[in-house]
Amino acid sequence: MHNGDKLSQRAINAIELVVSGNPTASGDVLAPYRSGPKLIDFFADFGCNDVYGGGFPSRHVYAKDSLRALDKDTQWKAVEAAVDPAHFLEFDGGVEQAVEYINKYLAFDGLRLVSSRNRYRMARADDSLVEVEDITIAVDPLAQEFVEEQLYKCRVKIRDEDYDGAITNARSLLEAVLSEIQVRLIAEPQKADGDLGKLFKRVQKALNLEPSRPDVADSLRQVLAGLSSIVNGIAPIRNRMSDAHARSFKPTRHHAKLTVNASHTAVDFLVETYSYQVTKGAVHPLS
């Protein structure tokens, strides 16, 4: 993370109102009230070891001081926890107004809260990673959990400047979705051997996405050929950029973002296509 990623006092003042549930200057209450003991419990999750008792400062002072004392990474985690939708389940205002309020102040720090899988995550304001809609292909909760985890890990690793890791997770995401579709549609699925290009060709055929099909319009044919290029480009990238192999360059932020965005776009299209064709009866799941 860059040095400028630590929160300014202006942002901390705004976040404190959400953490504590104190009203704004105009009297608006943005979040459920947290008592002194509950504030201690909140910050205990981020390494604080305070005890409530005599001499305890006012709630707003304690919340601000605790936020200010955290390192950059932990500050971000605390902000994400402050807008955990579960905390707002019985709060009439909902979490959205709290997020909107905090984002007004985070903007001055070049940061923002973004929606990610029913949660909010911290990101830099210039982070243009494509948002992918919920992936509902997997009925197995573990498979669904894995896909969501890869989406989140990609963003976190780019945020933390682990560009190799982001690229690896982007490839893993694409492979997981292709494998799931294959299992659903192909009677004798290919064994997992890491050959992403071969796996994609099997899924492409099962989903009627082959560019060579005579019933495919020329404009769509070019798009489908582009999809093949995306997969074929991502397929070997983990080996080419892995620390365990010789490579001519080290990936940077824009390389990682390109790979992650390309993978997410391919995944989104594949999942939408699968769902659409199942609904229309064009493909038939095995079970």
Integer Cα distance of 182 and 209 in angstroms: 14
The two counts, helices (H) then strands (E), for the chain are 11, 2
Count the Cβ atoms, other than its own, within 10 Å of residue 158: 24
Helix axis angle, 196-206 to 163-185, nearest 10°: 40
pTM check: above 0.75:
no
Q: Are 28 and 91 in contact (CB under 8 A)?
A: no
Q: Mind listing the pLDDT tens digit for each residue in 39-61?
A: 999 999 999 888 888 888 999 99
Domains and their CATH numbers in the chain: 3-124 (no CATH), 141-280 (1.20.120.330)
User: Residues near 149 by Cβ (< 8 Å), separated by ≥ 6?
Assistant: none
Provide the pLDDT for residue 267: 87
Tell me which residue of 232, 266, 236, 259 sits closest to 163, measured CA to CA: 259
Model confidence at 135, in pLDDT bands (50, 70, 90)?
Answer: very low
Residue among 69, 100, 63, 104 nearest 83 (CA): 100
239-264: pLDDT as tens digits = 555 444 445 568 889 999 999 989 98
* Interior angle at CA 31, CA 153 and CA 121, nearest 5: 10
